[in-house]
């Protein structure tokens, strides 16, 4: 667009046939180069070639043809450096920067010592050319920077979303949405065992879950686990509480309450809610759980291994005592 506008205003200013032809050549150069890049899909090479062409074939001759400092070419020279700075690879970008700055510095001194190489414009023509060049180059700089900022913000947003997603996946079970085993162990080590008062642990698994999978399929089994996970999330709604899929059909609830008895009531209410679950695809199926329950403040459980061993033993006792129950220890 800038090249076309420059061609038009060069003709209007009557700088001569050579100036008009050369500015038209600029337009043709961009069109041909753009077509080659479009067909070959070599965007990086095409952009580098464009920068080299601008800084070598186009702007230096145009600087002298159009009137040197009496026209708007210095704006184009400065803007070409900005364009060259957008080359993605460091080495060609650095070479192009040094090359363009050196070349334009030499050109400016040549114009100073040999002013007759460029035509002298009328004052009004000088103002018009400089104003038009300033407007177009200002718009180009604004558009380029705006596009880069938009692209940066979009990339940053995508990166932040990816980091958030990866962080979530690293700490949560993908099927149920509950916290996973790694996250639970970190919370036990770093928080609960340092101040265990008021924390209680319920470890449970689904009774005869293998039969559920064998009789109704693994898809329905996943529905069961997801439904239990939803009840677990609804149960652990207090600050500091945590619902965990520990592995397979085994879950853990980290419960926080005023006393052991109140926490046990909460655990029993959870067991009852699970037994009341209904499934549209298998309306006659009823799910039951067996669990172990311990007080995290028990001095016997001074590390997470002892705590998990103790609650697992209570879970085993619930299984051997007939299932569909919670066995606890203060």
pLDDT tens digits for range 150-188: 988 999 999 999 999 999 989 999 999 999 999 999 999
Of 48-62, 84-98, 192-206, which range is least confident?
Answer: 48-62
Question: Is 90 exceeded by the pLDDT of residue 35?
Answer: no
Note the pLDDT of residue 175: 94
Residue scoring higher pLDDT (138 or 244): 244
Where do the structural domains in the chain lie, given as residue ranges? Answer: 2-162, 181-329
Chain-wide mean pLDDT for the chain?
Answer: 87
Q: pLDDT > 90: what percent of the chain? A: 53
Integer Cα distance of 254 and 200 in angstroms: 6
Please tell me what DSSP assigns to residue 207.
T
Can you tell me which residue has the tokens 């192009």?
96
Note the pTM of the prediction, 2 decimals: 0.63
Question: Is 50 exceeded by the pLDDT of residue 280?
Answer: yes
Residue scoring higher pLDDT (117 or 310): 310
* Residue among 64, 141, 48, 142 at smallest CA distance from 99: 48
Note the pLDDT of residue 306: 93
Q: Which CATH superfamily is domain 181-329 in?
A: Reverse transcriptase/Diguanylate cyclase domain (3.30.70.270)
Structure confidence at residue 143 as a pLDDT band (50, 70, 90): confident
Residue scoring higher pLDDT (274 or 28): 274
In the numeric block, which tokens belong to residue 217?
């399929």
Structure confidence at residue 18 as a pLDDT band (50, 70, 90): low
Of 19-28, 174-183, 296-305, which range is least confident?
Answer: 19-28
* Residue among 134, 23, 18 at smallest CA distance from 75: 134
Question: What is the mean pLDDT of the segment spanning 238-242?
Answer: 92
Note the pLDDT of residue 69: 85
pLDDT tens digits for range 242-267: 999 999 999 999 999 999 999 999 99
Note the pLDDT of residue 17: 66
Number of neighbouring beta carbons within 10 Å of residue 288? 15
In the numeric block, which tokens belong to residue 94?
């650095």
Give kind and range of the element (H or E) at residue 318.
Answer: helix 304-320
Q: With contact defined as beta carbons under 8 Å apart, do 205 and 274 qualify? A: no
Note the pLDDT of residue 4: 47
Question: What is the mean pLDDT of the segment spanning 297-314?
Answer: 92
Question: Is 80 exceeded by the pLDDT of residue 9?
Answer: no
């Amino acid at each position: 667009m800038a090249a076309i506008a420059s061609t038009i205003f060069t003709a209007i200013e009557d700088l001569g046939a050579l100036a008009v032809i050369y500015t038209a050549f600029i337009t043709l150069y961009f069109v041909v180069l753009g077509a080659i890049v479009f067909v070959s899909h070599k965007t990086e090479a095409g952009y580098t070639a464009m920068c080299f062409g601008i800084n070598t074939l186009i702007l230096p001759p145009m600087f002298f043809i159009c009137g040197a400092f009496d026209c708007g070419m210095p704006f184009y020279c400065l803007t070409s450096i900005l364009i060259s700075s957008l080359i993605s690879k460091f080495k060609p970008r650095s070479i192009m920067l040094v090359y363009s700055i050196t070349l334009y510095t030499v050109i400016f001194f040549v114009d100073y010592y040999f002013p007759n190489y460029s035509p002298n414009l009328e004052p009004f023509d000088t103002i018009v050319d400089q104003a038009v060049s300033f407007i177009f180059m200002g718009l180009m700089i604004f558009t380029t920077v705006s596009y880069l900022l938009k692209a940066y913000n979009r990339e940053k947003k995508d990166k932040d979303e990816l980091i958030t997603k990866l962080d979530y996946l690293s700490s949560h079970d993908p099927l149920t949405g509950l916290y996973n085993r790694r996250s639970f162990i970190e919370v036990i080590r770093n928080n609960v065992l340092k101040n265990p008062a008021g924390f209680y642990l319920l470890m449970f698994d689904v009774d005869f879950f293998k039969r559920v999978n064998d009789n109704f399929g693994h898809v329905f089994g996943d529905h069961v686990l997801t439904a239990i996970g939803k009840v677990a999330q609804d149960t652990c709604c207090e600050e500091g509480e945590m619902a965990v899929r520990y592995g397979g059909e085994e879950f853990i609830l980290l419960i926080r309450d005023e006393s052991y008895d109140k926490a046990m009531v909460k655990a029993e209410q959870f067991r009852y809610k699970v037994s009341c679950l209904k499934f549209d695809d298998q309306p006659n199926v009823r799910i039951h759980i067996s669990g172990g329950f311990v007080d995290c403040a028990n001095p016997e459980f001074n590390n997470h291994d002892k705590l998990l061993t103790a609650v697992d033993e209570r879970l085993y006792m619930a299984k051997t005592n007939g299932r569909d129950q919670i066995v606890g220890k203060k």
